[in-house]
Structure 1
Amino acid sequence: MMKNTVILILLLISGLLPAQENTVEILGKTNVNTFKCTNTSIAKPAGSFSSETKLPVLQLKVADFDCRNKMMTNDFRKILNSEQHPHFTVRFIEFKKNANSYYSAIVEVKILNRKRFYTVTFFENKNMLTGNETVRFSDFGIVPPTKMGGTIVVKDHLELTMKLKNL
């Protein structure tokens, strides 16, 4: 009886807590392994996906990314020079519906004061927009890092995944 009561309370509490609305993940590979750095501390951006005049801009704190490994998280922050460039941004330039739940967006990604434009396809499910795009370290003038005297080499390609509440 007590066990059922605890489970019921936990279910009620979890229903009251706000679900994580916005997430940005960066997935990369090395010649040995894969890594994923996630930022779930994204404030609700100003703007709306339904507004042609004021589309959202995501201001991402580099220090808020977590790679689930302290050393890797520190390396990630160092690669992105978080002390001199504490933020990077994803600015929506264009956002339009293609068909059913698919959207096409042109986004500007700014890292280390370098801007690159990408066309990203988003899919909407349960009022959440999910899109991913391949970016490269080299797009932003970053040489892919190596570790252990070059034994471990990080690949240039990264997958940038955005999961955003449809504003």
Structure 2
Amino acid sequence: MKNKIIILLFSIIPILLFSQNNGVVINGWTNVNTFKCANDNFKNSGSIYSFTGNQLPNVQLQVTDFDCRNKMMTSDFRKILNAEKYPVLNIKFLDFDKAPANKFTALVEVKMMNVTRKYTIEFSKNNHSLVGNKRLKFSDFNIVPPKKMGGMIYVKNDIDLLFSLAIKD
């Protein structure tokens, strides 16, 4: 029952966070806390995306634009993603299909730190936006989650990528 509630919350939260906006948030966990890093420049970009025709979106995000609302956490996050050497996180839509009940399925290519992975992501339409989320792993991108204080505090391998794209109707 507890797992069903958690899954329901992760399905509803992106819709509430991102209605009528662009947004990218990466949520993660440590053994003692959680963290949430958002890309505010993308949120405020004003871009509107189209999913019709042959041109699907290719979203390029500057790693240094992610803010975890904690100076040390933001610095660590940017260091983990090696922002100096790999300044861009790229999300490219390869395929996009309508499913029943205002749902959509997309094949998305995520490129982070010169490693590319493909994921199938389900989206919902909400107030002129497409909202989706996907559970990824740091290890998908050859990233070893960091440890602090001799391993007493460690970042878990799972991260959630939550995003919303403002769309043309």
TM-score (norm 2): 0.83
The residue type paired with residue 48 of structure 1 is S
Tell me how large the CA RMSD over aligned residues is. Answer: 1.6
CA apart distance, 1:95: 0.8
Q: Considering only CA atoms, is the larger Rg found in Structure 1 or Structure 2?
A: 1
Compare relative contact order (CA 8 Å, sep 6+) and give the higher one, 1 or 2. Answer: 2
Q: How does 1:118-137 map to 2 (within 5 A)?
A: 118-137=119-138
CA apart distance, 1:45: 5.8
Q: Which residue of 2 aligns with 1:30?
A: 30
Aligned length: 148
CA contact (8 A) 1:45 1:56 kept: no
Following the alignment from structure 2 to structure 1, what is the Cα–Cα distance between the partners of residues 121 and 28?
18
The residue type paired with residue 75 of structure 1 is D
Q: How does 1:90-129 map to 2 (within 5 A)?
A: 90-129=91-130
Following the alignment from structure 1 to structure 2, what is the Cα–Cα distance between the partners of residues 61 and 29?
22
Q: How does 1:70-85 map to 2 (within 5 A)?
A: 70-85=71-86
Following the alignment from structure 1 to structure 2, what is the Cα–Cα distance between the partners of residues 68 and 117?
29
CA contact (8 A) 1:45 1:57 kept: no
CA apart distance, 1:94: 0.6
Q: How much identity, in percent, do the aligned residues show?
A: 50
The residue type paired with residue 101 of structure 1 is N
Say whether 1:160 aligns with 2:145. no
Following the alignment from structure 1 to structure 2, what is the Cα–Cα distance between the partners of residues 163 and 47?
10
